Structure 1
Amino acid sequence: MADFRIEKDSMGAIKVPQDAWYGSQTQRAIENFDYSPNPMPTSFIRSLIEIKRAATLANKSLSEIDSSKAVAIKDACDFLLNRNLSNEKLMANFPVSIYQTGSGTSSNMNANEVIAHLAEQQLSKQQGDAVNIHPNDDVNYGQSSNDVIPSCVQLSLASYCVDYFLPAIDQAIAKLNNLAEQYRDIIKTGRTHLMDAMPISLGEEVATWAFQLSESRERVIGSLGRLTQIPLGGTAVGTGINRHPQFPEKVCELLSERLSLPIKPCKNFSSRMSAQSPTLEMHGQLKVLATDVIKIANDLRWMNSGPNQGLGELQLKALQPGSSIMPSKVNPVIPESIAMMCAQVLGNDVTLSVANQSGNFQLNVMLPLIAAKSLESAELITSSLIALAEKGLSDISVNEAKLKSSVSKNPILITALNKKIGYEKAAKIAKQALAEGRNIIDIAVEQTDLSEQELSELLDPKKLAFPFDD
């Protein structure tokens, strides 16, 4: 048996691997874009198949396509969706590179061809006779790459955020809130400009991180509503040529039920086909979160620094040797890994900003890149949150003795006396305490009319950390 078969399309005949589920247009894409080994993300492919499934059922309900063909196409989609699309053998049938035609037509036709092949096999077997299911005329009926691909970009990102990102950020927020409560009564020196400042509760410091993540969660939820307004039904140039008038509402209804997302037709199809602003908006929320997570990772690294010549306020869990030459050195590998993942998200935001500008008239022509990089960022930020919750924040050892010692010697405590003795005198006492290495209360007793008992109460680090507690 030959190791290839001959497939024909509007451009002529082409050899396709004998066991491939795809057809001529996918093969042309493989040959045209052979310089890049990066296929479209699995989550994108899954959403693309979901769109094909819903479109077929919508067209069937509207009596637009043959019922037996529609059932076969739907079953072919289910066959793919019920399997692990990350499986190497299965994904070999979706080989089209990210760096392909800017409309994503090659990916759309890849899905059309695979689904048509599987549906045709099934229906022919059922009917006992050869049946033709055409990638364009049947699987792609009432659709265009120009509305399918931008819709897929949006839905794949929305689905990933709901299915994976939100559980991950909820886990991280819960972990931080638990630690904040646990550390509430541990008082430490606050820092601004990396310099000693007024006391703060370690619990409040951690609670701040939790609040930052919570706000990012709210921002992501806010962007989901626009991200799930899709242009499916716009077909070629946003006018809806060649589709049923009720198709957009019907297909969105089916997708919404299937994916448990509030999916609706957008009010202006061309707006989503020519630009992916909702995707860029959502990525912007992930970018903001990435900056917050980098800040958290850096704070953890600073507090863990030392153990002898750094801050040494806490010790992160030792996970692996830190040096190939320095024995016993252990590094904060999880915060470092997290920071790098988030740095890539920031880089992807620049890429997506450039890509979103690349809409000429009725169509954006960097859609595959937008899909790939937005999903990469969602995956990276999700992984960073899981790593933070499960590894970065687990088994932390707080050096309470060092924190207590440091805060008691902090000359900045004198700030609490500004109302009593004035800024200038307070500054003089702080400088003297620092120069002589003495306790600030001892010097304040000498330099003011306040008693040691009064000073001890006024300069109590815990009261300063919680100035409005009873």
Structure 2
Amino acid sequence: MSEYRTERDSLGEMRVPAEAYYGIQTLRAMENFHITGITMAHYPRFITALAHVKHAAARANASLGLLDESKARAIARACEEVASGLLRDQFVVDVLQGGAGTSANMNANEVICNRALEMMGHQRGQYEFLHPLNDVNMSQSTNDVYPSALNIALILDLRELIDAMEHLRKAFWRKGQEFADVIKMGRTQLQDAVPMTLGQEFSAWAVTIGEDVQRVDEAEDLIFEINMGATAIGTGLNSHPDYTRTVTEKLVEITTLKLVSSPDLVEATQDTGAYVQLSGVLKRVAVKLSKICNDLRLLSSGPRCGLNEINLPPMQPGSSIMPGKVNPVIPEVVNQVAFAVIGLDVTVSMASEAGQLELNVMEPVIALSLFQTINMLRRACLTLADKCVSGITANRERCRELVENSIGLVTALNPHIGYEKSAEIAKEALRTGGSVYDIVLEKGYLSREELEDILKPENMVRPRYVLGR
């Protein structure tokens, strides 16, 4: 067998490695786009989604009498293999590419075509029997294939992200229950505020993550709308009048996803608003995760010269020069994920804005940004849950000590002695280092029994009726 085969396109001839399932247009893309070093093979769900789209198109074209049944069966079988993970190493095009994703589409066309040719008893490259464009790409354009496949891949990735977020939410919720009886000082502007429980703090983080699960769900709903049948710009040129409906139905059968055809394919082919919306929601997730990690780092600061209210599980030695130092490395890496996600959101915004007339050619960088964002956030949630939150312990005595010595206790006196006297006590406590409790007794503002009831930390962590008000 020859080491190479010769293939031709509109630009001329090239020698393609004989063992390759990809063809000449993929080879040209490999030569043109040495950009990220990340090939399509790095995102298997996108390859699976492309295979699903090609499979659905073949079945639709056959049912409409446009594609020979034997060709359609071979294409379908090849697509099933690709969707299952076979031939993944043949998807060699850089994910960042010019041409609005044409190279990715052609990579899929050629791999599926050559595998189908083998199944039909022919050799790779014998396109007179089955053609990557005339047959595998029938009734299609990159401009409907690429975004439709991207949407399918994003839906599959988002489901894993949601699972990871739920895993993290449950980890915080369990700690909220475990720390429900740990009294501590709440803070605003990094200053003492009023008492709360450590359980309330952790439960609040669980709730905020749960809210973001709902927001991701809502953003995902926009991604179920696809533009298959649009072909080049949404007019459906070179497709059967019933193709859009038929291919969408076949795609729903193959993927089991609730995909729907856009009501206006011209608008859908140029619009990337759903990606902007999704990216913005994912940025929101990242920002809130980063804020939580900031709090974890503050609450665990010390251990002797910081707040030291909680202990993060020690994951690795923290310094090459300071023996015994242990750093909050898991919250730190999640912070960095958030910074990266925020930057990727800017990329999606700029790429979406750069669309012109009937097509946005910047979809490859949108796809790369969203894939990276979802993947990093998913791993960050799992890492934070399993390597940090689940192992957090509370320093109960330290938390109580800070409450009892805090000036913040004076807030609870407002309804009983008024703001002015409460402020007077706070100032004196700060000036003298005395306790709020002792100063109130010395001034005779309240009896010992009244004071003990009012300043009991457990009575200050929930609403409480004040007699006479």
TM-score by length of structure 2 reads: 0.95
Instruction: Report which stretch shifted further, 358-367 or 3-12.
Output: 3-12
Residue aligning to 1:45? 47
Q: Give ranges in structure 1 of 5+ residues lacking alignment.
A: 85-89
- Report if aligned partners of 2:175, 2:390 keep a CA contact under 8 Å in 1: no
Q: Secondary structure at the match of 2:187?
A: strand
Deviation at 1:244, TM superposition (A): 2.0
Residue aligning to 2:434? 438
Residue aligning to 2:19? 19
Return closer, same or farther for 1:303/1:130 CA change in 2, 3 Å cut-off. Answer: closer
Residue aligning to 2:314? 318
Residue aligning to 1:113? 110
Q: Does 1:68 align with 2:42?
A: no
- Report if aligned partners of 2:96, 2:365 keep a CA contact under 8 Å in 1: yes
Distance across 2 between alignment mates of 1:443 and 1:300: 34
Deviation at 1:36, TM superposition (A): 4.2
Distance across 1 between alignment mates of 2:309 and 2:454: 25
Distance across 1 between alignment mates of 2:465 and 2:389: 28
- Report if aligned partners of 2:49, 2:83 keep a CA contact under 8 Å in 1: no
Residue aligning to 2:101? 104
Instruction: Report which stretch shifted further, 445-454 or 326-335.
Output: 445-454
Counterpart of 1:148 in structure 2: which amino acid? V
Deviations 1:279-310 (A, max 9, x none): 11111111101001001111111111110111
- Mapping of 1:65-464 within 5 angstroms? 65-83=67-85, 90-124=87-121, 132-162=129-159, 164-464=160-460
- Report if aligned partners of 1:154, 1:279 keep a CA contact under 8 Å in 2: no
- Report if aligned partners of 1:270, 1:363 keep a CA contact under 8 Å in 2: no
Distance across 1 between alignment mates of 2:377 and 2:294: 16
Deviations 1:141-177 (A, max 9, x none): 1110011112122221112112x11211111111111
Deviation at 1:193, TM superposition (A): 0.8
Instruction: Report which stretch shifted further, 64-73 or 75-84.
Output: 75-84
Counterpart of 2:108 in structure 1: which amino acid? A
Q: Does 1:5 align with 2:2?
A: no
Distance across 2 between alignment mates of 1:232 and 1:214: 34
Deviation at 1:468, TM superposition (A): 4.4
Distance across 1 between alignment mates of 2:395 and 2:304: 12
- Report if aligned partners of 2:47, 2:83 keep a CA contact under 8 Å in 1: no
Deviation at 1:133, TM superposition (A): 1.1
Distance across 2 between alignment mates of 1:2 and 1:124: 18
- Report if aligned partners of 1:124, 1:131 keep a CA contact under 8 Å in 2: no
Distance across 2 between alignment mates of 1:24 and 1:469: 79
Deviation at 1:436, TM superposition (A): 2.1
Distance across 1 between alignment mates of 2:114 and 2:322: 59
Identity of aligned residues (%): 40
**How many pairs are equivalent?**
462
TM-score by length of structure 1 reads: 0.94
Q: Give ranges in structure 2 of 5+ residues lacking alignment.
A: none
Distance across 1 between alignment mates of 2:214 and 2:60: 33
Counterpart of 1:401 in structure 2: which amino acid? E
Counterpart of 2:144 in structure 1: which amino acid? D
Distance across 2 between alignment mates of 1:429 and 1:113: 80
Counterpart of 1:286 in structure 2: which amino acid? L
Q: Secondary structure at the match of 1:239?
A: coil
Distance across 1 between alignment mates of 2:252 and 2:442: 74
Q: Secondary structure at the match of 2:445?
A: coil
Deviation at 1:2, TM superposition (A): 4.4
Counterpart of 1:120 in structure 2: which amino acid? L
- Report if aligned partners of 1:287, 1:345 keep a CA contact under 8 Å in 2: yes
Deviation at 1:259, TM superposition (A): 2.8
Q: Secondary structure at the match of 2:400?
A: helix
- Report if aligned partners of 1:173, 1:214 keep a CA contact under 8 Å in 2: yes
Distance across 2 between alignment mates of 1:17 and 1:313: 63
Deviation at 1:413, TM superposition (A): 1.0
Deviation at 1:438, TM superposition (A): 2.1
Q: Secondary structure at the match of 1:59?
A: helix
Deviations 1:71-116 (A, max 9, x none): 10111011122226xxxxx443111112312410011011000000
- Report if aligned partners of 2:47, 2:82 keep a CA contact under 8 Å in 1: no
Distance across 2 between alignment mates of 1:329 and 1:309: 13
Q: Secondary structure at the match of 1:196?
A: strand
Distance across 2 between alignment mates of 1:253 and 1:181: 47
Residue aligning to 1:87? none
Instruction: Report which stretch shifted further, 392-401 or 31-40.
Output: 31-40
Deviation at 1:131, TM superposition (A): 6.7
- Report if aligned partners of 1:414, 1:430 keep a CA contact under 8 Å in 2: yes
Distance across 1 between alignment mates of 2:122 and 2:369: 41
Superposed CA RMSD: 1.9
4+ residue runs over 3 A deviation? none
Distance across 2 between alignment mates of 1:316 and 1:246: 60
Distance across 1 between alignment mates of 2:327 and 2:180: 27
Counterpart of 1:151 in structure 2: which amino acid? S
Return closer, same or farther for 1:395/1:36 CA change in 2, 3 Å cut-off. Answer: closer
Return closer, same or farther for 1:102/1:460 CA change in 2, 3 Å cut-off. Answer: farther
Residue aligning to 2:32? 32
Return closer, same or farther for 1:207/1:25 CA change in 2, 3 Å cut-off. Answer: same
Deviations 1:179-233 (A, max 9, x none): 1111112111101111111111111111111111111111111122211101111
Deviation at 1:434, TM superposition (A): 2.3
Distance across 1 between alignment mates of 2:17 and 2:465: 74
